[in-house]
Structure 1
Amino acid sequence: MTKAAVIILSGTESHADRGRLVNGLETAKEFAETEGDDVELIFDGAGTQWIPKLEDERNDYHDLYRTVREDTSVCDYCAGAFGVADAVADAGVVTLDDHDGHPSVRSLVDDSYEIITF
């Protein structure tokens, strides 16, 4: 069994950011589809800005996002800092605030998760 935490840090400003997002979503999807694997998809930093965009059914990557939606969480502090806290709450996405308002990467490492960032 493989345990992976895919962390999306890229913002929404550039073509390169969009590429990192898609690669992160595809990576999370691959783990989610593999029997016995455990995946956590975390949007952190500027990556939190993707949630309202991905929740929009007209977004090109909405369907891909939906394949890993149940494994998705968002940094509580960063959602506020990047102005998307209300959109995250409206979407019902779980927020994490384990370490000073942020997700605890150390806890993931302690739980034997491989950390993959995009």
Structure 2
Amino acid sequence: MAETAIVILAGTESHSDLGRLVNGLEAAREFDENPDDELEVIFDSAGTEWVPELEDEDHDYHELYRSLSEEVAVCDYCANAFGVDEAVADTGVETVDENGGHPSIRSLVDDGYEIITY
């Protein structure tokens, strides 16, 4: 059994950012497909900008993203800082703010999660 948190930090500005997003989502899917694994997917920093884009049904990776929707959360502070807080709120995706508005990576580590960043 693996306990893994995948943190998407890549923004939406470049082709390489898209590559990091897709690699992160594909890794998350692999963990998600194993019923014994625990998974968290957190969009943090500029990665918060992906959530409104991925919610669009026409996005190439919408289905992959939606297949993980139960495990997805967004940094509350960063969604605001990157100007997507209202769009994220409209999606219904959980926002996390345990550490001064940010997700608590330390709590995840304390709970035994491996942290993988993209």
TM-score w.r.t. length of structure 1: 0.99
Match of 1:64 in 2: 64
SS at match of 2:11: coil
**Corresponding residue of 2:12:** 12
- 2:89 corresponds to which residue? 89
- Give percent identity, aligned residues only: 64
1:112 matched residue in structure 2: 112
**Aligned residues, how many?**
118
Q: Which runs of 5+ in 2 are unaligned?
A: none
- C-alpha distance in structure 2 between counterparts of 1:13 and 1:101, whole Å: 24
Q: Helix, strand or coil for the counterpart of 2:100?
A: coil
Q: Does 1:31 align with 2:31?
A: yes
| Cα distance in 1 for residues equivalent to 2:96 and 2:35 | 26
Deviations 1:11-64 (A, max 9, x none): 000000000000000011111101200100000000000000000000000011
SS in 2 for 1:87: helix
1:65-101 CA distance string (max 9 Å, x none):
0111110000000000000001111000000000010
Distance 1:48 1:104 in 2: 16
1:74 aligns with 2:78: no
| Alpha-carbon distance in 1 for matches of 2:69, 2:15 | 23
SS at match of 2:36: coil
Point out 4+ residue stretches in structure 1 off by more than 4 angstroms. none
TM-score (norm 2): 0.99
- Structure 1 counterpart of 2:3, one-letter code: K
SS of alignment partner, residue 16 of structure 1: helix
Residue equivalent to 2:21:
21
Q: Following the alignment from structure 1 to structure 2, what is the Cα–Cα distance between the partners of residues 107 and 13?
A: 30
Q: Residue 40 of structure 2: SS of its match in structure 1?
A: strand
